[in-house]
A and B are shown apart, each in its own frame.
Chain A
Amino acid sequence: MDDESRLIEERLERLKLATEGIQSRSGFEQRVMMAVLQSGAFDWRSGLWRVGRYGLIVSLVAVALATVFAVQGASRADEMQAMSYGTVDLEW
């Protein structure tokens, strides 16, 4: 290797070390995410479905629990009403 080639390799090595610390600047990640959202690449329907389906599951569970409580409450009310009718019959 002649002097010229050695100088080139040394310069490359120096620049390699000096640029080792380069990284994306602060806020770059947010910029990318905004760009993805604005680019039309993001499918809003699938995004909304993804968020919405959790709400749907919670709603279905709530409806099921409400139905169970409603049925139990109704049968308890029927029993109490039947008992109260029985009491009236005895008084007669």
Chain B
Amino acid sequence: MPSLENAADRVQQGDLEAFREIVQATSDQLVRVAARVIGDMAEAEDVVQESYISAYQALTQGQFDRRSHLPAWLRRIVINRAIDALRSRRRRPRLDDSTEAGWDGSAGIESRMALAELGDWMNELVPEQRVTLVLSVFEGMSNLEIAQAMGCSEGAVEQRLVRARVALRQRSQKNG
């Protein structure tokens, strides 16, 4: 993604339009990750928006150290924010789905229902387990990539995956 790295350079020089290019190129993927982790579209967009503000500040202050590519760096910010959101979440009443704007067509309805199901199913998982499971199963990331994104060891990733599956299994046994 050399053009994104180039855009990061331009943001550092105060070019706001370059930041718009970064948002255009990365927002779909970041919102999808956040939505899968949180299980709620509106909350996921809030998390991603806050992440972009942090990223903009970091870029303009020269804090993007380029040890990772820009999309991976942004994803790490979103993951940390999503974990914070899960920790501090106070269950707010869900919006009636039919009133939510921007969900058009059958694909939207299917995604929305699946998201609600996912959020409900994983509700009892510890935030770190939930994020690890989503990154592994849904985003197809390797344990090493997850460890780098979450700032933990590969062993911790494996442990969280095992515990997440055990928790889901216990939940289905309890319900069924």
Contact = CB atoms under 8 A, between A and B. Distances in A.
Contact of A32 (B23, B115, B121): B23
A77 B46 CA distance: 69
Nearest to A14: B114
B165 interface: yes
Interface of A: 4-5, 7-8, 11-16, 18-29, 31-33, 35-37, 39, 41-43, 46-47, 49-50
Contacts of B169: 4-5, 8
Given A24-B27, A24-B48, A28-B31, A43 B60 contact: yes
Contacts of A19: 32, 35-36, 111, 114-115, 118, 138
Interface in B82-141: 101-103, 107-108, 110-111, 113-115, 117-118, 121, 133, 137-138
Interface stretch (B1-9, B11-19, B65-73, B145-153): B11-19
Contact of B36 (A22, A27, A32, A46): A22
B53 A22 contact: no
A29 B20 contact: yes
A19 B110 CA distance: 8
B173 A4 contact: yes
Interface of B: 13-16, 19-20, 23-24, 27-28, 30-32, 35-36, 41, 45, 48-49, 52-53, 56-57, 60, 101-103, 107-108, 110-111, 113-115, 117-118, 121, 133, 137-138, 165, 168-169, 172-173
Nearest to B29: A23
B35 A22 contact: yes
B165 A47 contact: no
Contacts, number: 113
Contacts of A20: 111
A22 B31 contact: yes
Given A25-B45, A47-B14, A16 B138 contact: yes
Contacts of A25: 41, 45, 101-103
A46 to B, nearest CB: 4
Given A4-B173, A8-B172, A15-B117, A41 B56 contact: yes
Contacts of A12: 133, 137-138
Contacts of B138: 12, 15-16, 19
Contact of B14 (A21, A31, A46): A46
22 contacts: A8-B168, A8-B169, A12-B133, A12-B138, A15-B138, A18-B111, A19-B111, A20-B111, A22-B36, A22-B115, A24-B45, A25-B101, A29-B20, A29-B27, A33-B20, A35-B52, A36-B53, A39-B53, A41-B57, A41-B60, A49-B14, A50-B13
